[in-house]
Amino acid sequence: MGAMRSLAGLLLLVASAASCRLPRMYGEDVAVRVQGLYGFQEVDVARLDGHAIAGLEVVTEDPHNSWGYEIGAQYGHESEETPQRRHEAEFNELYVGMRRGWTRGAMHPYFGLGASWARVENTLRTSGPTVEFDDDSGGAYVRGGLLWSLGRYDFDRGTEILMGIDARGLVGDDFDMAQIALVLAFGT
């Protein structure tokens, strides 16, 4: 719990130092995007090899200081089979954090950090009884990515479509994760 308090304090300090005030979550000119992710995630658990992930997140960006918030969820599944056993694992993650973006023409690089809660639900099937166990881990993540604008279309305030790549690392209590994903985003 002390690590989560430290992370929350760090997020507040970074946001305050960058803009002398926290970014607005909403407002007339605050950009809001919905982003879908699909990629590959590696977990530092010896019995797992890596798996595909899919996620959805909502991102904001205050144009006054280019800082914003992000909240999201991800899901992944992995299965490994040997003659003696079958191991299945489901990965669920919820996260919230802050993001700093830049706009360079059609290019939109970003950097983010935040707090995450992840759960791995394991099922081990052998010739004997089936064993189920869960691993929960709270932790901190850091991420970076690059989005390219595919154009702005005349819906509402002008919907922009972006596509790009995202890299993310998580350091947790019980396990660590690294991932790379393709991103498709829609928003203002």
| CATH number of the domain encompassing residue 67 | 2.40.160.20
Distance CA 145, CA 72 (A): 16
Give, for all 188 residues of the chain, the pLDDT tens digit: 566 666 666 666 665 555 457 787 777 788 899 999 999 998 886 667 789 999 999 999 998 888 999 999 999 998 888 888 888 889 999 999 999 999 888 899 999 999 999 888 888 888 888 888 888 889 999 999 999 999 888 766 678 899 999 999 999 888 888 999 999 999 98
How many independent structural domains does the chain possess?
A: 1
Global pTM value: 0.81
Distance CA 53, CA 95 (A): 14
Domain that holds residue 161: 2-187
Distance CA 172, CA 89 (A): 18
Q: Are 163 and 37 in contact (CB under 8 A)?
A: no
How many helices and strands, by DSSP H and E, does the chain display? 1, 8
Neighbours of 150 (CB within 10 A): 14
